[in-house]
Structure 1
Amino acid sequence: MTNLETFSDLANQPVEGFKPKPTRLTDEQVEALNPLWTSADAGVKIGLWECTPGRFTADRSEMAEYCHIISGSATVTNLSDGTSRDIKAGDLLVLPKGWLGEWVIHTHMRKLYFLSNS
């Protein structure tokens, strides 16, 4: 049986358990997750993520990521060609499978993430 799931008020859903960001380049940068849904084969993952200001690296070798920015602002840089984009609340960011880059979080950020291995 296929179930329909809905999630509302994403700006106020709890995100708890802040821990040091493993790929941080800035001391004391922390992040937290609230996984909302994972497909049976774990090929798709959807959830909320928050991170404090600072700089970190990101590797999307295994999965593409689609990010809807709920709050905060950042600059995201593609390490392969040096291009960067400024993102803020309301923006949608697409990081294709194989992307390698760096984030600089300017103000505390919350995003809805959608990871896909296809």
Structure 2
Amino acid sequence: MADDEVGKPAVFGAILSGQPLEIHRNLFEGDYGRFRSGVWQCTPGVVAMTDWPYHEFCVLLAGRVVITPEGGSPREYRAGDALVLPMGFTGTWEILETVRKYYAVQARQPLMRRVKQRVKGWLRPGARNGQAADAQAGAAF
């Protein structure tokens, strides 16, 4: 990313204030598009995120952001900080200074793949009472 490159309006959530512009470069993609990593940048503004569809690990390279989970307390992150946004995250990103980060995201597994894996587990030797031998109570697909 060039320092003078202009991004597009942010689409990672609903813009609540400002005019945040984002740029991203996927540097790696795997698992049929479910896993991606790269670099992302966004200019100041406030963005509300709802039901984030990824598990995301990121390391801030530049800037400052205050992340507030719904019903939780705000926390400020700066260049050099690392954080995880869990799948399903709902809350706000208040970008105080243009943020640049490395990211790695893992998307939800398609429903049919989850069902197939569950059925294979049920059919394995040692499975009993409709549960896979290694299944745990309350485990989701």
TM-score when scaled to structure 1?
A: 0.79
Give unmatched runs, 5+ long, in structure 2. Answer: 109-141
> Which of residues 7, 14, 21 in structure 2 aligns to 1:30?
21
Structure with greater proportional helix content = 2
Structure with greater proportional strand content = 1
Pair 1:51-2:42 in alignment: yes
CA displacement 1:13-58 (0-9 Å, x = unmatched): 5484510113222242211111111104111110111111110022
Larger Rg: 2
Cα distance change of structure 1 residues 106 and 60 upon mapping to structure 2, 3 Å threshold = same
Corresponding letter in the other structure for 1:31: E
Contact 1:26–1:55 (Cα < 8 Å) also in 2: yes
Q: How large is the RMSD of aligned CA atoms in angstroms?
A: 1.8
> Which of residues 60, 65, 81 in structure 2 aligns to 1:69?
60
Partner of 1:21: 10
Q: Higher relative contact order at CA 8 Å, sep ≥6: structure 1 or structure 2? A: 1
Q: Distance in 2 between matches of 1:52 and 1:98?
A: 24
Contact 1:60–1:96 (Cα < 8 Å) also in 2: no
Partner of 1:105: 95
Structure 2 counterpart SS, 1:41: helix
CA displacement 1:74-112 (0-9 Å, x = unmatched): 100001x22221100000011111111110011111001
Cα distance change of structure 1 residues 34 and 14 upon mapping to structure 2, 3 Å threshold = farther
Q: Distance in 1 between matches of 2:22 and 2:107?
A: 23
Cα distance change of structure 1 residues 61 and 27 upon mapping to structure 2, 3 Å threshold = closer
Q: Number of aligned residue pairs: give it.
A: 105
Corresponding letter in the other structure for 1:93: L
Contact 1:65–1:96 (Cα < 8 Å) also in 2: yes
Pair 1:89-2:79 in alignment: yes
Give unmatched runs, 5+ long, in structure 1. Answer: 1-12
Q: Distance in 2 between matches of 1:67 and 1:60?
A: 18
Q: Distance in 2 between matches of 1:60 and 1:17?
A: 27
